[in-house]
Structure 1
Amino acid sequence: MLSRTADNLYWIARYMERAETLARLLEVGARMSLLPTAQGFRNEWESILNATGQIGAFQKKYDSFAQRNIESFLFFDRDNPSSIASCITAARENGRIVRTALTGQVWDALNTAFQELRQIERTPRSQLELSRLTDWTTKHTAMLRGAIDATLLRNDGYDFLNLGFALERADATARIIDVKYYVLLPRAGVIGAGAENDQWSMLLRALNLNRAFHWAYGGELTAQKIAHFLILNPACPRALMTCGQEIDTALTHLAKLYGRETEAQHLAQGLLQGLNASSPEAIFDEGLHDFLTRFIREIAALAGAVHDSYLSGDM
């Protein structure tokens, strides 16, 4: 496969997963804004921007952390290359370029999302509820993944798509957990009662993981349980461990297909070994925020190695 084709497929997945992440972060912010303000950031919306790593770009254009401004920046703003509108548009453009590498159902999923986005952008903001926008986004990203899983040949193109999804989701999960890291930092036992406990429940609900968490752990929310579920539990579809395993699987397939291992494989194996050797206690000893920051850096280094190994020249 030509590296430019692999690059287009990889970025289709990354952009669509990024759009879903932003939708879920917006839902987290909306849910938490209904609860009493916790100690930490000035408000929950500012913590959402901190998690995305885009607070500097936001402040250059907007003068307050009002919900409407953040909705505009993260969903509609075409000047923000990581807004939902920008991500869906970029994913569709990448799909158009490699149209012959996609099945009709995969292309339809991308193109339908783009066409409906254009209709949404023409709709007056007063008629658009945030919950409608986030539900619309997660529905279309799920449709794309379903089309990929149901119709694409299990070849290197499929591996590059899955690699893009897993890398982006790993980064995203770490950032979503980091939204409320300051709640967990004071202690590794029971999360603060009342509003703080409700905030973590809201976060799990926004990720559609609330029921899964209670199936797996039951009882009260604790810092160790949350950390284990979202970081180390391979049964959780968004866990860092699950993402690491999916990254390793995709890269292993590519190494066998192309007959060579690369720095990307070595970094992925090291990432997975580090997660396997970790525990909630070790994470809190290091500091949850410090652990997540280090993990995000490792994912960025791995993504760079993927680019250098597969996406920057003909394979």
Structure 2
Amino acid sequence: MLGRTANGLFWMYRYLERAENTSRLIETGQRIALTRLRTSDEEWRSVMQTAAVCDGYDLTHDEVTKDSAIDWMLRSKENTSSVMSAITAARQNARSVRTALTSELWEAMNAAYMTTSRRLSRKVPERDLPDLLKALRHSTALVRGMTHGTMLRNDIYDFSRIGTFLERADNTARILDVKYYVLLPSLSAVGSSIDNVQWETILRSVSGRGGFRMTYGSMPQARDVACYLILDGRMPRSIAFSTGKIRDNLEYLSIDYGIQPPSLELARGLSDACASTSIEEIFHTGLHEYLQTTLFRLSALGKQIERDFRFYN
């Protein structure tokens, strides 16, 4: 496969996953605000920090307000990670690799773009936000469903999966990291009903509430939630699950191409680290330090994949 085709597939699915993750974070911000006794627009800064879009916002805005933060994350063309920017970039990459996609998949991607463009053509009233966010997730889920249901399991599929799960692992790590150091109102709230409600909100943001309750029960505790979202290989948005899928698809590419790329060793290292580490070891080392190291390793892996498969040649 040509490097530019691999690049188009990889980034199409990264941007698609990013759009969905951003819509989930906005919904999370709305839910967390409902758990506060005293709400402040400034709390939306934490949501933007999770999405890594806070610096860009500060360059173009004098203060943080709820409306402007939501609009920045949903519609802003200046924000390259906004839902609209991400869906647009996903479609542009899909067009560049159109011949590698099935007609059903292309139609789903195009429909997602047109629906998003129409619904985000103007500022979204708060009363319409829940329906909009649900529609955005349904659109991206349809693209993902068409991928699973119609695509041949070859290198095209492998690059799409690698892009999806690299973005997903990064997002889960960011959500957990910011929850500990920004979202919690004070140390006195640790273990309180407010803390538990916020942990449940975080689980909702990654569609993990139902699975968590099956595994740990109905009262979320910090250690259990962290274990579930980092180490549980059954949870499809956990770091362990995501890094395992990246490793698997890189191994398929290694077999198909007859090579042993350095990115495969990096992916194996990440996946093995999840398999061999306990939540007690993570908390002993420091959750923040562990997650920051994971984010650094994910970034390095993404750059190494680009080099190994000559994305820009």
Normalising by structure 1, report the TM-score: 0.93
Distance 1:245 1:38 in 2: 41
Q: Identify the residue that residue 51 of structure 2 maps to in structure 1.
A: 52
2:125 aligns to what SS in structure 1?
helix
Q: Which moved more, 1:121-130 or 1:160-169?
A: 121-130
**Cα distance in structure 2, aligned partners of 1:178 and 1:8:** 30
SS at 2:175 equivalent? helix
23-32 or 132-141: bigger deviation:
132-141
Give the structure 1 partner of residue 68 of structure 2: 69
- Amino acid in the other structure paired with 2:27: E
Q: d(CA) in 1 for partners of 2:122 and 2:46?
A: 28
Q: How many residues align?
A: 311
In the alignment, what sits opposite 1:216?
Answer: 215
Match of 1:179 in 2: 178
The amino acid that maps onto 1:32 is: I
CA-based RMSD? 2.2
CA change 1:307–1:184 in 2 (3 A) is: farther
Stretches of structure 2 lacking an aligned partner (at least 5 in a row):
none
2-side partners of 1:152 and 1:86: how far apart? 25
Give 1:170 shift: 0.5
Tell me the distance in 1 between the aligned counterparts of 2:132 and 2:69: 13
Cα offset, 1:126, TM superposition: 3.4
**CA contact under 8 A between 1:28 and 1:203: conserved in structure 2?**
yes
> What residue is the counterpart of 1:30 in the other structure?
30
Range with greater deviation from structure 2 (268-277 or 18-27): 268-277
1:264–1:309 Cα contact (<8 Å) kept: yes
Counterparts of 2:76 and 2:59, CA distance in 1: 13
Checking the alignment, whether the CA contact within 8 Å between 1:38 and 1:195 is kept in structure 2 is no
How far apart in 1 are the matches of 2:24 and 2:106? Answer: 24
Q: Structure 2: which amino acid aligns with 1:12?
A: M
User: CA offsets, 1:170-198, max 9 Å, x none?
Assistant: 001111112311349969xx952121111
How far residue 37 of structure 1 moved from its aligned partner, in angstroms, is 5.6
Instruction: Extract unaligned runs of 5+ from structure 1.
Output: none
Partners in 1 of 2:274 and 2:175 — Cα distance?
A: 18
Given residue 54 of structure 1, which amino acid in structure 2 is its aligned partner?
A: V
Q: 1:216 to 1:99 in 2, by over 3 A?
A: same
**How far 1:128 moved relative to its partner?**
6.4
8 Å contact from structure 1 (residues 37, 43) kept in 2: no
SS of equivalent to 1:125? coil
Alpha-carbon distance, 1:253 to partner: 0.3
Of residues 175-184 and 13-22 in structure 1, the stretch that sits farther from structure 2 once superposed is 175-184
Alpha-carbon distance, 1:232 to partner: 0.1
237-246 or 200-209, which moves further after superposition?
200-209
Q: Deviation at 1:125? A: 3.1
Q: Which residue of 1 aligns with 2:102?
A: 103
What are the superposed Cα offsets for residues 115-141 of structure 1, whole Å, 9 maximum, x if unpaired?
112211334533862212211221111
Q: Secondary structure at the match of 2:146?
A: helix
Give the structure-2-normalised TM-score.
Answer: 0.94
- Once residues 136 and 31 of structure 1 are traced to their aligned partners in structure 2, the CA distance between those partners, rounded to angstroms, is 18
Alpha-carbon distance in 2 for matches of 1:115, 1:161:
21
Q: Which residue of 1 aligns with 2:4?
A: 4
Rounded Cα–Cα distance in structure 2 between residues aligned with 1:63 and 1:277: 46
Mapping of residues 103-122 of structure 1, within 5 Å: 103-122=102-121
- 2:269 and 2:26 map into 1 onto residues whose CA distance is 32
The one-letter amino acid of 1:13's match is Y
Report the CA distance shift for 1:311/1:135 in structure 2 as closer, same or farther (over 3 A): farther
**Distance in 1, Cα, partners of 2:54 & 2:290:** 21
Instruction: Using the TM superposition, name which of 46-55 and 19-28 deviates more.
Output: 46-55
Tell me the distance in 1 between the aligned counterparts of 2:267 and 2:75: 34
Contact 2:199–2:222 (8 Å) recurs in 1: no
Shift of 1:211: 1.2
State the distance in 2 between where 1:105 and 1:267 align: 34
- Distance in structure 2 (CA, Å) of the matches to 1:161 and 1:76: 25
Q: 1:127 to 1:178 in 2, by over 3 A?
A: closer
Residue identity in the other structure for 1:270: G
Does residue 1:261 correspond to 2:277, yes or no? no
Q: Partners in 1 of 2:38 and 2:191 — Cα distance? A: 10
SS of aligned partner of 2:93: helix
